[in-house]
């Protein structure tokens, strides 16, 4: 009989997230959430994630097709894209930090302005109001109007209609009233946690607890209910214990299934926020390697590079790649956990991965 061991968990983690490539909307619905990141190295994280899961996907298609999809930019455990139906699980959202009367009045004034015009670019708000400048999230200064719009979006007063050269264009949104009874709140928190488990399973127990604290970003008003759901994890999710670590996954899945097929010769470059990579604790448990995201690490202290992409070959993490486009060509620098594979199979897999990435970037010759 097949047993659930670390090899089975690895295969399960790979097979369930790299489903057969499908349409853009269906891939986002299947994942439940796609984390976003503005760094382009060689493409944004959301595009690198979707490259492996959307048939014939090209970098930038999510942004160009966004307005026609039932998809929203919003927050879950981080900022990203999610199916529109998930908004009802999180809104109306109550921010952890309440605005004072002056800020609420300013937001109401801007909201009225946006309702009159329908859709607005932040520059329209900046021209109409004198909000000044404020301290930025990562140092420096931001236009106060930009920060106000961001806060209004987070609080569910605005939605992103589209982006223009990367800048959000907003419109007002009204969320339907929701049942706020204790039972309904618990059900929404449970549905959000189920969404997260389906995205990142199999999950070690410590990660499940950590993700619950991160859910405080997407649904801070459901924090107590989310903690209650986690306490019931052993009854809610399938689980096993390996080497002292308890692992959880959805009850309708079987990590020991013989149907989990992983192409042993397929090489993939994975975004730092890919569902397979994002949980660093799980990543290290499954592959015995501590991957580090070093984009914000001083260059002299980096060990892997500015935007190192983990390399998955078959079911093994063998190292990382730094990719960039130079003079219309994809340039790569590779690092390896152990020795670089020298066989012809790896060389062919690498060539195929580089070519498919060039096609995805629109620079294939």
**Per-residue pLDDT tens over the stretch 185-207:** 999 999 999 999 999 999 999 99
Mean pLDDT across 298-309: 95
Q: Is the pLDDT of residue 141 over 50?
A: no
Number of CB atoms found within 10 A of residue 348's CB? 12
Longest dimension (CA), the chain: 70
Indicate the domain borders of the chain.
101-172, 182-249, 267-361
What is the pLDDT, as a whole number, of residue 258? 80
What is the pLDDT, as a whole number, of residue 209? 87
What is the pLDDT, as a whole number, of residue 261? 84
Of 268, 322, 333, residue with least CA distance to 295: 322
Mean pLDDT across 157-164: 96
Number of CB atoms found within 10 A of residue 52's CB? 22
Contact 63, 150 (CB under 8 A): no
Q: What are phi and psi of 231, to 5 degrees?
A: -65, -20
Look at residue 349 and give its three-state secondary structure. helix
Determine the Cα–Cα distance for residues 59 and 48; give it in Å rounded to an integer.
8
Determine the Cα–Cα distance for residues 188 and 170; give it in Å rounded to an integer.
26
Percent of the chain exceeding pLDDT 90 equals: 85
What b/e string do you get for 88-112 counting C-beta neighbours within 10 Å, with b at 16 or more? ebbbbbeeeeeeeeeeeebbeebee
Mean pLDDT across 322-337: 96
Determine the Cα–Cα distance for residues 225 and 185; give it in Å rounded to an integer.
7
What is the pLDDT, as a whole number, of residue 187? 96
Phi-psi region at 19: left, alpha or beta (left = phi > 0; alpha = psi -120 to 50):
beta
Could you tell me which CATH number the domain at 101-172 has?
1.10.10
CA dihedral 202, 340, 355, 277 (to 10 degrees): 20
Q: Is the pLDDT of residue 240 over 80?
A: yes
For 46-71, what is each residue's pLDDT tens digit?
999 999 999 999 999 999 999 999 99
What is the pLDDT, as a whole number, of residue 210? 87
- Give DSSP secondary structure letters for 167-221: EEEEEE--PPP---SHHHHHHHHHHHHHHHHHHH-SEEHHHHHHHHHHHHHH-GG
What is the pLDDT, as a whole number, of residue 42? 96
Count how many residues are written for the chain.
365
Q: Is the pLDDT of residue 304 over 50?
A: yes
Determine the Cα–Cα distance for residues 358 and 360; give it in Å rounded to an integer.
5
Mean pLDDT across 301-310: 96
Report H helices in the chain. Answer: 6-17, 24-31, 45-51, 61-65, 87-90, 101-117, 122-128, 144-154, 182-200, 205-218, 223-231, 233-236, 280-287, 344-361
Contact 59, 269 (CB under 8 A): no
Contact 280, 199 (CB under 8 A): no
Using CB atoms within 10 A of its CB, is residue 48 exposed (0-12), middle (13-18) or buried (19+)? buried
């Amino acid at each position: 009989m097949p047993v659930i061991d670390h090899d089975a968990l690895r295969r399960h983690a790979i097979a369930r997230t790299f489903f057969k490539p499908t349409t853009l909307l269906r891939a986002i619905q299947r994942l439940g959430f796609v984390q976003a990141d503005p760094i382009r190295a060689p493409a944004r994280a959301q595009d690198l994630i979707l490259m492996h899961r959307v048939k014939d996907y090209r970098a930038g298609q999510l942004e160009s097709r966004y307005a026609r999809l039932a998809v929203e930019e919003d927050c879950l455990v981080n900022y990203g894209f999610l199916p529109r139906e998930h908004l009802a699980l999180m809104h109306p959202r109550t921010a952890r930090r309440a605005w004072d009367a002056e800020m609420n009045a300013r937001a109401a004034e801007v909201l009225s302005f946006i309702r009159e015009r329908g859709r607005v670019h932040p520059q329209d708000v900046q021209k109409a109001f004198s909000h000044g400048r404020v301290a930025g999230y990562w140092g420096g200064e931001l236009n106060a109007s930009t920060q106000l719009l961001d806060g209004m979006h987070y609080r569910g007063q605005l939605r992103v209609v589209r982006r223009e050269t990367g800048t959000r264009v907003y419109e007002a949104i009204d969320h339907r009233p929701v049942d706020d009874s204790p039972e309904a709140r618990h059900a929404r928190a449970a549905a959000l946690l189920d969404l997260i488990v389906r995205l990142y399973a199999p999950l070690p127990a410590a990660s499940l607890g950590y993700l619950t604290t991160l859910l405080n970003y997407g649904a801070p008003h459901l924090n107590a209910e989310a903690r209650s759901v986690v306490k019931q994890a052993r009854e809610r999710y399938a689980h096993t214990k390996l080497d002292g670590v308890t692992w959880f996954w959805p009850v309708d899945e079987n990590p020991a299934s013989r149907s989990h097929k992983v192409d042993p010769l397929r090489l993939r470059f994975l975004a730092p926020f890919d569902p397979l990579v994002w949980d660093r604790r799980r990543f290290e448990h499954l592959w015995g390697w501590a991957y580090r995201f070093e984009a914000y690490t001083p260059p002299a202290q980096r060990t892997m590079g500015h935007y190192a992409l983990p390399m998955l070959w078959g079911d093994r993490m063998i190292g990382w790649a730094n990719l960039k486009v130079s003079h219309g060509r994809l340039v790569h620098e590779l690092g390896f956990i152990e020795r670089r594979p020298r066989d012809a199979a790896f060389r062919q897999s690498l060539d195929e991965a580089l070519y498919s990435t060039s096609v995805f970037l629109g620079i294939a010759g």
